Amino acid sequence: MKVLFLSKKNDVHSEKALKHLNQFGWEVTSCVGVWGDKLPTDAQTWEGDLIISYLSRWVVPESLLVKAKVGAINFHPAPPEYPGIGCINFALYNNEGTFGATCHHMLSKVDTGKIIKVKRFPVYEKDNIQSLLERTYDYQLSLFYDVMDQFYSEHSFPVSTEVWSREAYTRKEFNELFEITKEMDEVEFNKRVRAISFGGYQPWIEIHGKKFYYKPE
């Protein structure tokens, strides 16, 4: 098996997934990156059997997808109810009781391919972005082990009856979640703070053409 593994740079979970993959004895080409990186030459010129996208920072182009003889799969850090970006943020904003991770076949349009398997877990009242992100990554790694072990032993992927429930969240929708206004009530304000506040990322309000950022205590 010739495999192309696309993942996130300096990420413990991605490194564990790659280590597990290498145990199968396949010929694995690994490319890691951060947001904004150009797709590496090794990926652009690759030809083989299977493409695996795991927290990848690239949208895999159709020109590369067609080079995978067996297929191309993605591990998405959210359940089928949350395709696209900002999934954890929107789940917290919507006060979801469960979340999860999804493995699916890749098409040129992001988060639209047939679903292979989903793993779900509870969201707790005191969860914030960091705690939910950490748990999501743990479950996604467990999902990776399940899917790839089955593929290694049975030469086939699981088949799920689940489907994507909406169009992918866009960058525009994600950016709009940051904005607060004087007209928002306390409930809406608190929902946005919970969904967005993480390190240097904070909700903001525009006054006289200037942005002022909320600083939580």
Do both 35 and 112 map to the same domain?
A: yes
Distance CA 198, CA 190 (A): 14
Is residue 217 over pLDDT 70?
Answer: no
Q: Does residue 144 belong to any structural domain of this protein?
A: yes
Give percent of the chain above pLDDT 70: 99
Do both 9 and 103 map to the same domain?
A: yes
> pTM for the whole thing?
0.93
131-179 tens-digit pLDDT? 999 999 999 999 999 999 999 999 999 999 999 999 999 999 999 999 9
Residue whose C-alpha is closest to residue 24's, from 141, 143, 139, 155: 155
91-121 tens-digit pLDDT? 999 999 999 999 999 998 999 999 999 999 9
Do both 182 and 148 map to the same domain?
A: no
What is the domain extent for residue 138? Answer: 2-154
Count Cβ atoms within 10 A of the Cβ of residue 45 and give its class: 0-12 exposed, 13-18 middle, 19 or more buried: exposed
- What are the Cα distances from residue 22, in Å, to 5, 28, 146, 154? 10, 7, 15, 18
User: Across the strands, what pairs with 68?
Assistant: 48
Q: Please give the mean pLDDT across all residues of the chain.
A: 95
